[in-house]
Structure 1
Amino acid sequence: MAMRVNLERIKADILELSQIGRNAEDHGIYRMAFTDADIEGKRWLIDRMQAAGFDHSLDGAANISAELTGKTDSPRVLVGSHIDTVPCAGALDGTLGVVAGLECLRCLREAGFENQRSIELIAFSDEEGRFGGMFGSQSLCGQINPEMIATMTDMNGVPLHDEMSRHGYDPVAALDAARDPETLHCYLEMHIEQGPVLDRLHKSVGVVDQITGLFTWSVRLKGEANHAGTTPMDMRHDAFMGLADFAHEVPRILEENGSDRSRATIGKAQILPGATNTVPGLVEFALDVRDTSMEVLDELADAFRKALSAIARRRSLMFEFEQKSLISPVTCGESVVETIRKQTERLELDYEIMPSGAAHDAQIMGRMIPVGMIFVPSKSGQSHSPAEWTAWQDIEAGANVLLHSLAELSGTTD
């Protein structure tokens, strides 16, 4: 009989961890990176690893690992995700990949599976970017430097250095977390989709082929504040009307310059001076743009700049923007994707080849080694909220795909 995960163990682990950082009023989970709740979650995970019979290790970035040792010293297979959360989170984002990974290690050992490559489960620190990046996976990939450690802060100005030190970690030790890519074969991550596609298609598994890239801008449109009653409409320099014009241009730009995987969002805006009887003199807003192609992202950036310039000229406004972030898209490893697809078919599961529209640790890892991701449906596409959920049977299906993919990738050194 083919190996199968133990769903009851997965359930117990997910539900138990979901109580750490749970807020009784809004029912959200508050386990942001390097808070007291996050550290409690790390201790819980270490306890679960030890209870399952695995020794744990902790690197300088506070990434937690457990290992199923292979018969050779060939480059190892990594599997994992993260257990930190956004504020008011659900129970599955990140957590599912770590819990499912631990269950796969249990199952492989219990089945007496003779893996040639070692399989390492890793729970990365701060995937959700409390301090502005994906600290754990960036550290492992050697993308952290001393200046970053000294200057990274959260939205409230709390330094990463102080938070790590408060819990007894040496922040500078994160520099020693970097791995030699020659020692790593590939990285797998199971995750909830965080979108509605699989749920609407009624498919149990998503096989990710690409992970989206993105850029974010902070944009300012500056006009002239003036009296709402005495300033004729044709004599106004209304900054908000500039934003309204731009918002209407977004669909056209995506259609003309983007792809079917393009997304653009104005998710935050501030109108100043913000008085009912004053023509807005300044608007500040955020623009988030995503696609799986860097060429398309470059074309979209150029088109958005031209649109802003034309609108500013037409409405007698000034505009400026600052690029806040730029993350390159990643194509998943062809052989890893094929392994996942093959195991999904072998398990007779209905699946969809699809991109990831969200960033993950796999995106960071994919710049160094081949990566693959397994998605499971998110009910109604909801995530980053207490409403986030996935049916247990879908979790079981995805975890079994992960189990057999790990067996395939670690079972040979060819």
Structure 2
Amino acid sequence: MPDAIALRAADAISQQRLMDRLAQLARFGALENGGVDRQALSDAELDARAWLIDWACTLGCEVFTDACANLFIRRAGREDLPPVVTGSHIDTQPGGGNLDGCYGVMAGMECLSALAAAGIETLRPIEVAVWMNEEGSRFAPGAMGSSAFVQPERLTDYLSHQDAQGITLADALTRCHQRFPALPRRSAVPMAAFIELHIEQGPVLEQAGLPLAVVQGIQGVRWYQVTCLGQAAHAGTTPMADRQDAMTLARRIVSQLEQRAETLPKDELRLTFARWEVEPNAINTIAGRVTFTLDFRHADPRVLAEFDRWMQQIAADNVRVECVFNNPPVAFHSQLLAQQFACSDALNIKTATLTSGAFHDAMHLASHCPTSMFFVPSHKGISHNPAEYTDPQYLYLGAKALACCLTELANQPTGVTP
């Protein structure tokens, strides 16, 4: 059960203030269709950073950055202990919505505003992190900032990555640091805990009629590329029995994998076939080569391993199989999950349990400190789209639950057991 101070922090959350700040952030990179284009380290994103830094200073917070241009907005505690951290990202897809990532940062800042308004001091510092390039829409891969924070050696490889205009990440980072020369830099610091608040980006919570979810982990993922080889030939003159049709072979493999997937538990299964390339891709020519990708996700490592075995079994002389990405499932910290439920119960917020099918910065932070997430509903499950929407009341309730958790954690002298 959260203490009276944590509940007072939750009561100090202002829905109007939260919505106003979300609207202000949405002006940076605003599109005529109501969406936003604010990609990592772009002019619009740097302008948003400047606004955020000014706001942090008015709250009496310190602001730090690091070599990967992550931002850390720190509200001091009574003692200089490892901080309790929340946050997400403010970069977007080229035609994204106004909540993905942004809500987690604005809700974190609203928690700092609420603590200030209520005159609450915490034992530990509380920080809001703004992770660089979570989306990966300008520089690939995504979640660069959080992954390089946890594993600094990754930054060396990232620096040479280019955007569509040939600008390297190294050049973009230099420009960012030149824009904010007064920001002190720091390397990775110990954290007592990290809690990321995010929109669900799926339909489950809305369909369940629930305003909040405690996220127990993130699904593991496998990305495979399959190349099927055949013989290009004339579509009108080659008898069916004499064909070596790469498309027929590819469709047979897809059907086989779909049938096998039918035997797996459906609640957390995700299987997607995409990025089809057909050669020579002419209407009257039998396909000589077909390449496609598949994205397989599940929370159970045993199911992922079984899928890997299936992929090995379909490899043959005329079928090449390549695993292009492999990320294990992430289980969030059980003590944090219990505290999240305790806070939502104390605030009378009905709460579900979900597993995230999407990647988030919390995926990387989980190897650095005790980590967990909250989700709020997404209308019709729409995200990465100007139509992205969450009921303001749900945004408010998510921020209240977050404030309660952060304050409770920040007043624990011994922190969370790793």
Measure, in 2, the Cα distance between the counterparts of 1:41 and 1:252: 48
Q: Secondary structure at the match of 2:255?
A: helix
In structure 1, what residue type is equivalent to 2:153? I
1:218 counterpart = 2:225: yes
- Give the equivalent residue in structure 1 for 2:36: 29
Alpha-carbon deviation of 1:255? 3.2
Flag the 1:217–1:231 CA change in 2: closer, same or farther, 3 A. Answer: same
- Give the equivalent residue in structure 2 for 1:173: none
Contact 2:59 2:116 survives alignment (8 Å): no
Measure, in 2, the Cα distance between the counterparts of 1:230 and 1:158: 50
- Give the equivalent residue in structure 2 for 1:263: 270
Q: How does 1:87-126 map to 2 (within 5 A)?
A: 87-126=94-133
Contact 2:66 2:187 survives alignment (8 Å): no
- Give the equivalent residue in structure 1 for 2:376: 376
Q: Deviation per CA, 1:29-85: give whole Å up to 9, x if none.
A: 211112222212222221222233323222221111211211122221111000011
Question: RMSD in angstroms over aligned alpha carbons?
Answer: 2.1
1:16 counterpart = 2:24: yes
Measure, in 2, the Cα distance between the counterparts of 1:339 and 1:155: 44
Measure, in 1, the Cα distance between the counterparts of 2:74 and 2:159: 31
Flag the 1:81–1:150 CA change in 2: closer, same or farther, 3 A. Answer: closer
* Larger RCO (CA within 8 A; separation ≥ 6): 2
- Give the equivalent residue in structure 2 for 1:387: 387
1:209 counterpart = 2:216: yes
Match of 2:14 among 6, 16, 24: 6
Measure, in 2, the Cα distance between the counterparts of 1:143 and 1:11: 35
Match of 1:163 among 151, 169, 172: 172
Measure, in 1, the Cα distance between the counterparts of 2:61 and 2:368: 27
In structure 2, what residue type is equivalent to 1:17? L
Q: Secondary structure at the match of 1:256?
A: coil
Q: Secondary structure at the match of 1:45?
A: helix
Q: Secondary structure at the match of 1:324?
A: strand
Measure, in 2, the Cα distance between the counterparts of 1:16 and 1:301: 46
In structure 2, what residue type is equivalent to 1:336? L
Measure, in 2, the Cα distance between the counterparts of 1:343 and 1:332: 17
1:76 counterpart = 2:73: no
Moved more, 391-400 or 64-73: 64-73
Q: Secondary structure at the match of 2:262?
A: helix
1:195 counterpart = 2:202: yes
Contact 1:221 1:318 survives alignment (8 Å): yes
Task: Give the structure-1-normalised TM-score.
Answer: 0.91
1:144 counterpart = 2:170: no
Flag the 1:8–1:55 CA change in 2: closer, same or farther, 3 A. Answer: same
Contact 2:343 2:404 survives alignment (8 Å): yes
Q: What residue ranges of structure 2 are gaps of 5+ in the alignment? A: 1-6, 180-184
1:134 counterpart = 2:143: yes
Measure, in 1, the Cα distance between the counterparts of 2:50 and 2:171: 20
Flag the 1:127–1:169 CA change in 2: closer, same or farther, 3 A. Answer: farther
Alpha-carbon deviation of 1:156? 6.3
Contact 1:20 1:29 survives alignment (8 Å): yes
- Give the equivalent residue in structure 1 for 2:366: 366
Contact 2:65 2:72 survives alignment (8 Å): yes
Q: Deviation per CA, 1:127-149: give whole Å up to 9, x if none.
A: 11232142211122124346413
Q: Deviation per CA, 1:350-382: give whole Å up to 9, x if none.
A: 111110111100000001211110100000011
Alpha-carbon deviation of 1:169? 5.5
Match of 1:250 among 257, 260, 282: 257
Contact 2:70 2:131 survives alignment (8 Å): yes
Flag the 1:391–1:73 CA change in 2: closer, same or farther, 3 A. Answer: same
Measure, in 1, the Cα distance between the counterparts of 2:239 and 2:178: 61
**Identity %, equivalent residues:** 33
Measure, in 1, the Cα distance between the counterparts of 2:168 and 2:323: 22
Measure, in 1, the Cα distance between the counterparts of 2:167 and 2:115: 42
Flag the 1:246–1:47 CA change in 2: closer, same or farther, 3 A. Answer: farther
Alpha-carbon deviation of 1:258? 5.8
In structure 2, what residue type is equivalent to 1:103? E
Measure, in 1, the Cα distance between the counterparts of 2:353 and 2:267: 14
Q: Secondary structure at the match of 1:338?
A: helix
Measure, in 1, the Cα distance between the counterparts of 2:330 and 2:166: 31
Contact 1:67 1:118 survives alignment (8 Å): yes
Q: How does 1:283-294 map to 2 (within 5 A)?
A: 283-294=290-301
Moved more, 142-151 or 244-253: 142-151
Measure, in 2, the Cα distance between the counterparts of 1:168 and 1:178: 15
Q: What residue ranges of structure 1 are gaps of 5+ in the alignment? A: 171-175
Query: How many residues of Structure 1 are paired with residues of Structure 2 in the alignment?
Result: 399
Measure, in 2, the Cα distance between the counterparts of 1:119 and 1:294: 34
Measure, in 2, the Cα distance between the counterparts of 1:48 and 1:243: 55
- Give the equivalent residue in structure 1 for 2:182: none
Measure, in 2, the Cα distance between the counterparts of 1:223 and 1:162: 44
Q: Secondary structure at the match of 1:113?
A: coil
In structure 2, what residue type is equivalent to 1:408? E
Alpha-carbon deviation of 1:391? 0.4
Q: Deviation per CA, 1:189-236: give whole Å up to 9, x if none.
A: 000000010010010001001111212122211211111111112222
In structure 1, what residue type is equivalent to 2:270? R
In structure 2, what residue type is equivalent to 1:229? G
